[in-house]
Amino acid sequence: MGIHLIAYRGNVLLSDEIELTAHLATLLRMENIGVLLGAGASVGCGGKTMAQLWEDFKSSSPSEYQWLCRNKFVDAPVPPVMPQTAPVPPGIPQAASLPPGMPKPAPAAPGVSQSAPPNVESLLDTLAIALAEWERAGSIEKDEGKKARAAIYRALVRASFLDESWWNTPEGVAHSEDRLSAHRLLLQRLTSARQPGQSSPWLFTTNYDLAIEWAADSIDMNVINGFLGLHSRRFTPQSFDLGFRNVQAKGEAQFGSYNVYLAKLHGSLTWKEVSGQYYEIQATEAQEEIQTFVKGDTDKLAFTVLPSAAKYIQTVGFVLGELFRRYSEFLARPQSALLVSGYGFGDEHINRLLLSALLNPTFQLVVYLPEFSGLEDVSKLPTAAQKLLSLQSPRVTFVGGGGDAYFGSFVEHLPEPSIYNDDLRQLQERLKALDTATNPNEGGSS
């Protein structure tokens, strides 16, 4: 039997999906709403999780993987333990051999590790330190190390490329593309919940792919991602302080927002550094150079900011430093809510900011984590998730249950705008009834 939806707000079990949706409806009406998306959010449109990425690296670059094992950068694969056969005492009949034609049990695949995949960021950080030392000492391991690093980068890019056909035309992705339906629905439900005077939603992501941008393009939604310009889009952080509005809108038409803010905390496949400045390049222009790198024709890629734990140093730079500052600033705002989906807590910088955000007394957090199955045993969850759960704060909600906590289910749990209208109408009727009961003489017969 599969795991069903399970949700805890603090240490209180939410009774059903309706109660969870009601809680999310309340959060979407808060002054500031944001979403943090990890690799799991892009699996439905062709992306890979970090575990799948690592398996892709091992299968596509076996010699580089073995080099990493030999040099202790990753744990060597653990061979499966075969049960030892005890000696058979005299007089006891031997077990019969397999009949002719009966297939023998398949042996374990060579090189298959029984352990979890490594933290790719920590691995790249360790590798970068080793390469710097080998460069200084003139070690012969330098070239092999560079090959291994390039192979990991290629696996990262392949995991983020999604669908090659989406890169080949200026039309981008059609509005009918089913694989981006969840991203489109997320954008629509976030923006439609905004009230007059409230800021537009924020989307923070560790992904390099263009799923959010393509989904927004397909429904004509404006995305403010820090880059300004028409033909030459240069990173200009002041753009995060701007927004769109409909100058014709009055009354009910003022509800909702006309843009989202997007902060790609690890960079993007279409960002390129030129003379110390970062530019956003059209996908049709970037894809040829990216494909050349993926095919192995070159070991250098000018696009994207690739992950490593050394981002603590890199983030003092212009682009990533500004994006992490915006993330930290959002978490500190009063009346803020952050919804997390597809994120496996693999970035320590993000995790620390997330934990410290709970010092903000009005901050609310909702985490969708498929492997979460209740409070009884959380030992197999990421350390940061365990810390959040140990607080048992009513401002922290965890949703698990396997497929019921995947990105698609998370989006479906977000309420439709019509729910807000019904709730508002019911509230108005209750207030009117209360006012009539309190002031019967002003009840208003005319």
For 368-402, what is each residue's pLDDT tens digit? 999 999 999 999 999 999 999 999 999 999 999 99
Only one residue has tokens 């401002």, namely 395
What's the average model confidence in pLDDT over 315-336?
Answer: 86
Q: Looking at residues 73-101, what average pLDDT do you find?
A: 56
Query: According to the model, what pLDDT value does residue 76 have?
Result: 80
pLDDT score for 352: 95
Question: Which are the contacts of 445, defined by CB distance < 8 A and separation ≥ 6?
Answer: none
356: pLDDT strictly greater than 50: yes
Per-residue pLDDT tens digits for 6-54 = 999 999 999 889 999 999 999 999 999 999 999 999 999 999 998 999 9
Angstrom distance (rounded) from CA 216 to CA 48: 21
- Residue 165, pLDDT > 70, answer yes
Residue 103: what pLDDT?
A: 39
Q: What is the pLDDT of residue 429?
A: 65
Q: Which one of 45-54, 247-256, 313-322 scores highest in mean pLDDT?
A: 45-54
pLDDT band at 2 (very low <50, low <70, confident <90, very high): very low
Question: Which pLDDT belongs to residue 90?
Answer: 57
User: What pLDDT does 11 receive?
Assistant: 94
Q: Average pLDDT in the 411-437 region?
A: 67
Distance in Å from the first CA to the final CA of the chain: 63
Distance separating alpha carbons of residues 282 and 339, to the nearest angstrom: 29
pLDDT tens digits, 267-309:
899 998 887 788 999 999 999 889 999 988 888 777 765 555 4
| Beta strand 364-368 pairing with 336-341 | parallel
Whether the CB-CB separation of 357 and 331 falls below 8 Å is answered with yes
pLDDT score, position 246: 73
Sequential DSSP letters for 94-117: PPPPPPTTPPPPPPPPTT--SSPP
Where residue 172 falls among pLDDT bands split at 50, 70, 90? confident
**Sheet with 259-264, side-by-side order of all strands:** 12-13, 6-9, 396-400, 364-368, 336-341, 32-37, 202-205, 259-264, 222-224
Positive or negative, the CA dihedral 383, 388, 392, 397 is: negative
What single-letter amino acid sits at 410? F
Contact 296, 154 (CB under 8 A): yes
Mean pLDDT for 76-86 is: 59
pTM to 2 decimal places: 0.82
Task: Provide mean pLDDT across the span 154-176.
Answer: 88
